[in-house]
Amino acid sequence: MRKIWIALLITISTLTSAQEATRWRGPGGNGIYPDQGLLREWPAEGPEMVWHADGLGQGHSSPVFANGKIYVTGMINRTGHVFVLSTDGKMIDRFPYGEDWHESYPGSRSSPTVAGDLIYVFSGQGKVVCMNAEDGRIQWSKNLFSDLDGRNITWGATETLMVDGNTVYCTPGGSKDNVVALDRFTGNVQWSSRGKGNPSAYCTPLLVKLPAAKILVTHTASNILGIDASDGKLLWSQNHTNQFAVHANTPIYHDGAVFCFSGYGRGGVMFELDGRGNRVRTKWTEKSLDSRMGGAVLIDGYIYGSGDYGRSWKCLDWQTGKQMYESTSIGNGVVISADGLLFCYSQRGELALVPADPNEFKVTGKTRISMGSGQHWAHPVINDGRLFVRHGDVLMAYKIK
């Protein structure tokens, strides 16, 4: 009997792991990747490129890794596709999901989310699609702008879908259906929150798992929202605006506090949550770290990222918001981290390695992304000792271990 129970527990554990959703910006959605033993310095010519895959169409999204494959979105002739690659960069298949964003700064916005054998995509035109990961067959789809009362925004819906358990969370940005939870197997609405009735703001939400509750934290055009993830009840909101209502950075949670930040000179604010997440108290604000869409990472009590108006790299103390340094060694852009290292990808196409040290911004490796075209906006990804950088229709894999 004991052997039977052990076998059953192993089976349950395996099935649970297989259903764990991929996350934009790493397993915790916070830009931190688990790889260890990485190079502390790069050769003068930069890290070795082990392969590159071309023909991915227009897009600004990041690749995700699941089922032993790589999935990334791209747009060809106004149609969005999920491209499926092998881990050595060979094209396996591509699955169309419908019209994507073809106006200002055209291309796919959102990275796919994979949970088990299902892929979830949110197009720049407001369509949520669930498809089979093996053959691309569409299981269900929902247009958040016609099936619900959502509305599009200036540069197209830009939100990578948050999947947790049997639920998909997304932000139509309507006056009634402001933030919604959908059944991930059927697309049916589980709950709808009016939020504050603002349009969406390019933000992929944060799901905070407290001992007694789950709280969804996201930005809309004028507000930061805290929503009960079980029923959609609005728990709290805080005013947070900027010039163009762009709040593209996922908030960061740590030890009972949430850091929310955006560009155009707005900067960041630190909120302390109560035990159930029902209320917040402002702990500090700081305007210099006003990343527009490059994210930030928290490492050993310090926040690292780059500014928008100041266009410099900065480090802030998590507890106080005090700025530790400022550097213009490379252009401003995206940051991710692994093994105590910062991987910085600037809007000028620079790719740099910087140890996470609150005392200085010291570049120990640098190269330039010359393949691909368009803006250098896609967030890099680290997987199995390799750094993956997407630039337009090209995905590059660099050896960093």
Query: Buried b vs exposed e over 191-221: b needs ≥16 C-beta within 10 Å?
Result: bbbebbebbbbbbbbbbbeeeebbbbbbbbb
For residue 14, the model assigns a pLDDT of 38
Q: How many CA atoms lie within 13 A of 59 on its CB side?
A: 34
Token pair, residue 203, equals 């933000």
DSSP 215-275: EEEEEBSSEEEEEETTT--EEEEEE---TT----SPPEEETTEEEEEETTTTEEEEEEE-T
Measure the CA–CA gap between 208 and 274, rounded to whole angstroms.
12
Measure the CA–CA gap between 397 and 228, rounded to whole angstroms.
39
Token pair, residue 8, equals 């059953």
Please report where in the chains the tokens 């209320």 appear, as a residue.
Answer: 279
Measure the CA–CA gap between 333 and 391, rounded to whole angstroms.
13
For residue 9, the model assigns a pLDDT of 39
Give the distance from CA 126 to its chain's centroid: 17
- 343 φψ region: left (φ > 0), alpha (ψ -120 to 50), beta (else): beta
**CB-count burial class (<10 Å; 0-12, 13-18, 19+) for 60:** buried
For residue 232, the model assigns a pLDDT of 98
* 151: nearest Cα among 119, 191, 178, 188: 178
Measure the CA–CA gap between 71 and 83, rounded to whole angstroms.
6
Instruction: Answer yes or no: are the C-beta atoms of 221 and 199 closer than 8 Å.
Output: yes
Please state which CATH class domain 26-55+288-401 belongs to. Answer: mainly beta
For residue 289, the model assigns a pLDDT of 97
For residue 21, the model assigns a pLDDT of 82
Blockwise average pLDDT, block size 10, the chain, 401 residues: 42 44 93 98 97 98 97 98 98 98 97 97 98 98 98 98 97 98 98 98 97 96 98 98 97 97 97 94 97 98 96 97 97 98 98 98 97 97 98 98 97
Instruction: Answer yes or no: are the C-beta atoms of 229 and 181 closer than 8 Å.
Output: yes
Instruction: Answer yes or no: are the C-beta atoms of 260 and 251 closer than 8 Å.
Output: yes
Q: What are the extents of the domains in the chain?
A: 26-55+288-401
Q: What is the pLDDT of residues 57-99, one digit of tens each?
A: 999 999 999 999 999 999 999 999 999 999 999 999 999 999 9
Measure the CA–CA gap between 32 and 304, rounded to whole angstroms.
12
pTM: 0.94
Kindly report the backbone phi and psi dihedral angles of residue 9, in degrees, each rounded to the nearest multiple of 5, phi listed first.
-65, -40
DSSP 35-70: --S--SS--TT-SEEEEEE----BB----EEETTEE
